[in-house]
Amino acid sequence: MLRFLRVSVPLLLILAVVLWLLYRSELKVREAMQRAAGESSVQLASQTIKVELGGLRGDLLYLADEVSLHGWLSSGARADRARLGADFLAFLQHHRNYDQVRFIDARGREVVRINTDGGQPVLVPDSALQDKSGRYYVNKTLALRAGQIYMSPFDLNIENGVLVQPIQPVIRLGTPIFDDAGRLRGLVMLSYRGRRILDYLAEIGSRNNTALWLLNADGYWLLGPDTATEWGFMFPERREMRFQRNYAQAWEAILAGPAQGQLKFDQVVFTYSKINPDQTPTWRGGRGWVLVAPMPRASLAADLALYARHLFVAYAVLAALLLFASGVITFKDTQRRRSEARTRESETRFGALLQAAPDAIVILDQSGRIKLINSQAEVGFGYSREELVGRQVEQLVPASFQEQYCGDFAGYLKNPVPRSMGVEAELSMLRKDGTAFPAEIRLSPLHTGQGMLIISIIRDISARQQAEEAQRQLQLRYQELVNNLPIGVYRNTPGEQGSFIEINHAMVDIFEAESVEALLAHSVSDLYCDPLKRREFSERLMRQGSTRAEELQLKTLRGRPFFAAITAVMKRDRQGEVYFDGIVEDVSERKESERSIRQLNGRLYARSVELETINRELEAFSYSVSHDLRAPLRAMDGFSLTLLQDYAGQLDDKGKDRLNRIRAAAQRMALLIDDLLKLSRVSRTEIVWTQVDLSRLAEEVMEELQASEPQRRVSFSVQQGLSAGGDARLLRILLANLLGNAWKFTRRCEEAKIEMGGNSDREGYIYSVRDNGAGFDMTYVDKLFGAFQRLHDNREFPGSGIGLATAQRVVSKHGGRIWAEGEVGRGATFYFTLDKGADL
Amino acid sequence: MIDRSILLVEDNPDDELLTLSALEANRIGNKVVVARDGAEALDYLLATGTYAGRDAADLPSVVLLDLNLPRISGLEVLRRIRADAVIGLLPVVILTSSVEDEDRVQGYRLGANSYVRKPVDFDEFIKAAGQLGLYWLLLNQPPPD
C-alpha cells in the first residue's frame, strides 16, 4: 500500500501541476484571444463605418453632380425636372440603402422627392411636397460651401413631428447645390437607412463572438445590448439610459484616452474606438461616435469553467489511468520483490534444512568433489568443514568399498533420480579416525545454475542395527520364555472351528501331538470333547472380552479327555481382526485333588458337627459336675462334722479319725472337681486376642502368691518387656499354674529362686519359667502334662495334677508348645511358645 | 426387724439341713421359711397357690436362692421377683454350688444382691452363714416397705 502511494501520489501531483499550467496558459490564450477578438471586431467595425460613410458621401456628391439636376437648374424646364425625378428614382431603385432623396431649393421648398413606400421608391407628387424651410439640417447645409457635406446626427426618423414606428434609424446627408454661375440654388438631401450600418456592426460582432456597441458622443446607445436601452435621447423615458450610467469609470477613461484602446475592469474588458463620422481629424465629442466591444469576464470565466471541467474530467480519467498504472507497477514491483524474497527465503530455508537435517548431508559435484557439508556430517565423520570442502568424496569411503562406490556413483550420474545407493549391499563409510560405520546412503540430484550437484544423505545405521539386534534378542527371549512355560500358550482365531496362529511347546505336550505343525493342522474345535462347547466359548469370549480359568473338557489328539482351565482375552490386530490369546492348563489332577478335598471337607464338617454336639454335652456335664457332684461332698463333710461335734462323746478316737478322713477325702474331691472345672473352662473359652504384657502379668501373679504366704522369702526376677499376643485371662491362668508350681516346689529351699524370661529362637520367641526347687525325674517327663498325673507325694506337695494339663491346654489353644526340663532336687524349667502369627 | 424371716429356696434336703444347721450354729434365730422349688418360692412371696391367703406384706429380710431348682430355675425366680412391682426390691442372695462365669454374670445381670458359693468344707459353710446372717439381718438396711 505504502509502495502504491509512493508511486501514485507524485504522479497525480505532476498531472495536477501539468493540467494547472495548461489551464493557466489556456486562460492567457483565451484572454488574449478575447482581446484580439475585441480589437479586431472594433477595428473591422470602424473600417466598415468609414467605408460605409465614405460610400454615402460619394453617393451624395454623385447626386449633386447629376447632369439632369444641373440641366434642370440651367433650364428650369418641367421636362428637366421630370428627368431629374426619374434619375433620382432610378438611383434609389439601385441604392436600397437610402430611404429618401430630395432636392430642396434654396428657400427650403422640396422640389423633387423620392420616398420609399412599401419597399419601392416612389416619386412623390408635387402636391405632397413640403416646405422644409427653417429646418436645422436645411439651414446647416445651405451654409456650406460647394462640395462640403452636412451630416445629421444619427437618430430616428420623425415624420410630421411623430417618431415613426417601428423606429427608423436614419442619417441625413446634405450638400449645397450651386449652379454653373456659382449661385446657391438649393441642396440635395439623402436619407440613409441607418439600420444597414447597425446590421453590419451586429454582424461583425456576432462573427467575432463579441458584442459590439455603438455610442454617440453623449453616451447614448445607438446599438446596445438591448433595443430597449437604445436611442435614449429620442425617448423621454430613456433619457437616463446612457453608457456612463452603467460604466462611469470606463466612460471617463474612454473620453480621456486615445482614439483606440482597451480598458480592463473587474467585470468586463472594453475595447473601444472613437469614430469621427464627419471625418474631422480628432474626436471632440459632439458628432463623434464610440465603438465599444464589451467583453464580460464572466463569459470568459464561464468558458474557462467549461474548460476547467473538461480538464477536470481529463484529470479524473488520467488519474484513474495513472492509479491503475501505479497499481500495475506496484503489483509488478511487489511480485518481483516477493519472488526475490522467496528466493532468498528458499535459500535460507535450504541452508537451515541442511543444518537441521538429522542425517549427515554431503553435496558433491559430478566429479565427486565435495561442495558443501552440514554440521551432522562434521560430527559424523569427525572432519571440520574446511577439511572436507573441495576434497574428493573417496576420502570418506573405506578402501575396500572404493571400487564399488566409484562404480555406483558413475552409474548414478547416468540416471540421476532420487534413490538409495547400495540397496542390496551393505555400505560403510570412513571416519577421520579411521573407523568405519555402516551407512545407508540416499542420492538425489540438485539442479543449480552451476549445473547438477548430487546430494548424498548418509545415515549412520549402526544404532539401528544394534536396536534391531536387541529387538531380535528380546523377541528370542520372549519366544523362549513362552516355549519354556509348562502351561499351554496359544493365539487362535475366533469362530465355531477356530484355527491356531501361534502355540508353544507345552501345547504339544498337553494335547499329545507329534509336533507343533501336527497340532497347528487341527482346528480348535477338534480339541473339544463337545465341539459345540467351542462355539459357546468363542461367543462368550467375544461378548465378555476375557475369561478367567474357565474349566472345559478337552481331549488330546489321541482322544484322551481331560479337564483344562483356559484363561483367554479377546484382542484386535491393527486391521481390526479379532483373535484370542490364551493359556491352557491340564487341571485333571487338580480337579481330582479338589474332589478329594471336598470329600475330606465333607467328612470334616460331619466331624465338627459331631464334636460340637460332644462339646455341648461336655459343657452340660461340667455344669452338672460343678453343681451336683459337690452337693454330696458337702453333705459328707457337713454331717461328718456334725457327728464330730454333736456326738463327740459317743465316738472313740478311731471313730473320730475315720470321720476326719471322710471329711479330708470329701474336701480333696471338691478340690479335684474345681480343678477339673478350670481345665474344662480353659478348653471351652473362646480366645480374645490382645497384646498382653507377660512381664507385668508374671509380677502380678507373684505378688498374689507372696500375699497368700507372706512369711515366705522367694527371690523372683522377671525379664522386662516380655509381651505376646493372646487371651489375657488364659495367659494369666498359664502363668498362675507355672509360677504357682514353682512357688510350691521351692517351698523347702533355703534360697528359693524363680525366674521368668525369654529369648528368640528358630521356632519364634521361647518363654521360660525356671525354679531351683524340687525338680523332677526326666524319665517321667511324658507324664508331666497329663491330667491327674503327679510326680510328687501329695502330702509333701499337695495338688490335683491338673495344673500343668491346664497350662498345656492354654498354650496349645494359642497355637504354641510347652515342654519342661528338670532334675530331681535341682529345679525345673518350663518352656513355652505362643503362636508367632498371633503376635499383634 | 430382727423378727423378720429368711426365705431359703433349696431343693436338696441335705443342703437344707446343713444350711439350717449352719444358721443355727451362728445362733440366728429368725424364722426360716424353706421353699423346695422355684414355683413354691414365688407362691410364697406373692402369696399365691399353696400360700394364697398369706399376708403378702410379710416379706422376708433376705431370700437365699439356689440356682439348680426343679420346675422354675433359680435365675427365672430372680427375674420374676425383679419384674414384680411389690417384691421387686427384695434382697436376693444367690447361694449355690456353681462358680460358672455364666451363672454369675446372669445372676448379677438379673439383679442379685450377692452371689455366695456353698463351700464343701462345713466349717467354711458355717462361717459363711454367720457372715450372711450378720450382714443381711443386722447390718444391711432393707428397702422401705
CB-CB neighbors (< 8 A) of A677 in chain B:
99
- Whether the CA torsion A255, A256, A259, A260 is positive or negative: it is negative
Q: Kindly tell me if the per-residue pLDDT of B77 is higher than 90.
A: yes
Q: Write the CATH number of the domain with boundaries A467-586.
A: 3.30.450.20
CA dihedral A696, A700, A701, A705 (to 10 degrees): 150
Predicted pLDDT of residue A423: 60
Rg of chain B over CA atoms, in angstroms? 14
Residue B18 at interface with chain A, using a CB cutoff of 8 Å:
yes
Using CA coordinates, name the residue in chain A closest to B69: A627
User: Residue A255 to residues A271, A293, A383, B108: CA-CA distances in angstroms?
Assistant: 13, 15, 111, 165
Concatenated DSSP letters of A357-417: -SSEEEEE-TTSBEEEE-HHHHHHH---HHHHTTSBGGGGS-HHHHHHHHHHHHHHHHS--
Give the pLDDT score at A778.
87
Axis-axis angle for helices A653-684, A630-646 (nearest 10): 160
Q: A108: pLDDT confidence band, cut at 50, 70 and 90? A: confident
pLDDT for A840 equals 43
* pLDDT at residue number B1: 44
| B99·A677 Cβ contact <8 A | yes
* Structure confidence at residue A596 as a pLDDT band (50, 70, 90): very high
- Residue in chain A closest to B11 (alpha carbons) equals A631
Residue B47 phi, psi dihedral angles, 5° rounding: 55, 50
pLDDT reported for residue A424: 58
Task: Please name the residues between 63 and 122 in chain B that touch chain A, using a CB distance below 8 Å.
Answer: 67-68, 96-101, 118-122
Residues 6+ apart with CB under 8 A from A405: A394, A397, A427
- Is the pLDDT at A379 greater than 60? The verdict is yes
Mean pLDDT, residues A270-281: 82
A57-195: which CATH architecture? Answer: 2-Layer Sandwich (3.30)
Helix (H) or strand (E) holding A105: strand A98-105
Instruction: Please determine whether the domains at A357-460 and A687-838 fall in the same fold group of CATH.
Output: no
Q: CATH number for the B6-139 domain, one of 3.20.20.210, 3.40.50.2300, 3.10.400.10, 1.10.10.10? A: 3.40.50.2300
Asked if the model's pLDDT at residue B2 lies above 60, the reply is: no
Contact list in A for residue B98 (CB cut-off 8 A) is 623, 626-627
Phi, psi at B137, each rounded to 5°? -95, -30
The mean pLDDT value for A160-180 works out to 86
> In this complex, do B18 and A639 lie within 8 Å of one another by their Cβ atoms?
yes
Establish how many alpha carbons lie within 13 A of residue A439's alpha carbon, considering only the half-sphere containing its beta carbon.
28
What the block records as the C-alpha cell of A5 is 502511494
CA distance A336 to B98: 122
CA distance A682 to A805: 10
Measured between CA atoms, how close is B85 to chain A, in angstroms? 32
User: Closest residue of A to B95, CA-based?
Assistant: A627
Q: How confident is the model at residue A392 (pLDDT cuts 50, 70, 90)?
A: confident
High-pLDDT (> 90) share of chain A, %:
19
Query: How does residue A308 score in pLDDT terms, banded at 50, 70 and 90?
Result: confident
> What pLDDT shows up at residue B128?
92
Q: From CA A197, how far away is CA A59, in angstroms rounded? A: 16
Mean pLDDT of A434-452: 84
Q: Is A563 helix (H, G, I), strand (E, B) or coil?
A: strand
Given a cut of 60, is residue A285 above it in pLDDT? yes
A831 — pLDDT class (breaks 50, 70, 90): very high
Parallel, antiparallel, or unpaired for β B62-65 and B6-9?
parallel
Is the whole-model pTM more than 0.95? no
**Adjacent-strand bridge partners of A280:** none
pLDDT band, residue A95 (cuts 50/70/90): confident
Contact B97 A667 (CB under 8 A): no
Range list of H helices, A220-363: 243-246, 248-256, 297-356
pLDDT range class, residue A828, cuts 50, 70, 90 = very high
**Pairwise CB contact (< 8 Å): B122 & A634:** yes
Helix (H) / strand (E) containing A437 = strand A436-448
Q: Give the start-to-end residue ranges of the domains of chain B.
A: 6-139
When the candidates are 3.30.565.10, 3.40.50.10490, 3.40.50.720, 3.40.50.1220, the CATH number that belongs to A687-838 is 3.30.565.10
Average pLDDT over residues A544-549: 90
Q: What is the pLDDT of residues A659-710, one digit of tens each?
A: 999 998 888 888 888 888 888 888 777 888 899 999 999 999 999 999 999 9
Give yes or no for a contact between A731 and A793, defined as CB atoms under 8 angstroms apart: no
- B 25-64 residues inside an 8 A Cβ radius of A: none
Let me know: does A102 contact A110? Beta carbons within 8 Å. Answer: yes
The predicted model gives A299-319 an average pLDDT of 84
DSSP, collapsed to helix, strand or coil, labels residue A488 as: strand
Gap between the Cα atoms of A357 and A321, Å rounded: 51
- pLDDT-above-70 percentage for chain A: 98
The pLDDT tens digits of the residues spanning A613-661 come to: 887 887 777 777 767 788 888 899 999 999 998 888 888 999 899 999 9
Backbone Cα Rg of chain A: 82
> Mean pLDDT over all residues of chain A?
86
Query: Is B120 within 8 Å of A667 when comparing Cβ atoms?
Result: yes
Contact A635 B14 (CB under 8 A): yes
Name the pLDDT band for A256 (thresholds 50, 70, 90): confident
- Searching chain A, which residue's CA lies closest to the CA of residue B67? A627
Under a CB-based contact definition with an 8 Å cutoff, are residues A726 and A692 in contact? yes
Per-residue pLDDT, averaged over A239-259, amounts to: 85
Question: Is A659 within 8 Å of A644 (Cβ atoms)?
Answer: yes
Q: What pLDDT band is residue A422 in, cutting at 50, 70 and 90?
A: low
One-letter amino acid at A484 equals N
Indicate the range of A281-290, A308-317, A461-470, B129-138 predicted with least confidence. A281-290
User: Does residue A562 have a pLDDT over 50?
Assistant: yes
Report phi then psi at A418, rounded to 5: -60, 120
Q: What does the pLDDT look like over A699-746, one tens digit per residue?
A: 999 999 999 999 988 999 999 988 888 899 899 999 999 999 999 999
With an 8 Å Cβ cutoff, are A632 and B122 in contact? no
Is domain A357-460 given the CATH code 3.30.450.20 in the classification?
A: yes
Three cell numbers, residue B18: 446343713
Chain A hits for B15, Cβ within 8 Å: 631, 634-635
Domain boundaries, chain A: 27-55+214-224+233-252+260-296, 57-195, 357-460, 467-586, 594-664, 687-838
